[in-house]
Amino acid sequence: MIPKSGNRFSDKIMLGTMTARQRISRGYGMKKILASLALLGLVAAGIGATGTGASAQEEAHNEAAPTHFPIDEPKEMDWSFAGPFGTYDKAQLQRGLKVYKEVCSACHSMNLVAFRTLEGLGYSDAQIKTLAAEYTIHDGPNDAGDMFDRPGKPSDHFPPPFPNEEAAAAANGGAAPPDMSLLAKARGVERGFPRFVFDIFTQYAQGGPDYIHSLLTGYDQQPPAGMVIPEGTHYNPYFLSGVSLKMPKPLSDGQVTYDDGAPQTVDQYSRDVSAFLMWAAEPHLEDRKKTGFRVLVFLLLFGALVYLTKRKVWAGVAH
Tell me which residues touch ligand HEC (CB under 6 A): 99, 103-104, 106-108, 172, 175, 177-178, 183, 187, 212, 215-216, 240, 245-248, 250-251, 273
Nearer to ligand HEC, 183 or 278 (CB): 183
Q: Among residues 6 and 163, whose Cβ is nearest to ligand HEC? A: 163
* Cβ-based neighbours of 13, under 8 Å, separated by 6 or more: none
Task: Note whether 240 and 211 are within 8 A (CB).
Answer: yes
Least Å from the CB of residue 71 to ligand HEC:
13
CB of 250 to ligand HEC, least distance (A): 4
Nearest distance from residue 195's CB to ligand HEC, in Å? 20
CB of 291 to ligand HEC, least distance (A): 29
Q: Which is nearer to ligand HEC, 71 or 104 (CB)?
A: 104
CB of 153 to ligand HEC, least distance (A): 25
Shortest Cβ 1–ligand HEC spacing (Å): 59
Contact between 233 and 245 under an 8 Å Cβ cutoff? The reply is yes
Q: Which is nearer to ligand HEC, 118 or 281 (CB)?
A: 281
Name the residue nearer to ligand HEC (CB basis): 70 or 152: 70
Q: Which is nearer to ligand HEC, 97 or 212 (CB)?
A: 212
Between 128 and 182, whose beta carbon lies closer to ligand HEC? 182
Least distance to ligand HEC, CB of residue 133, Å? 23
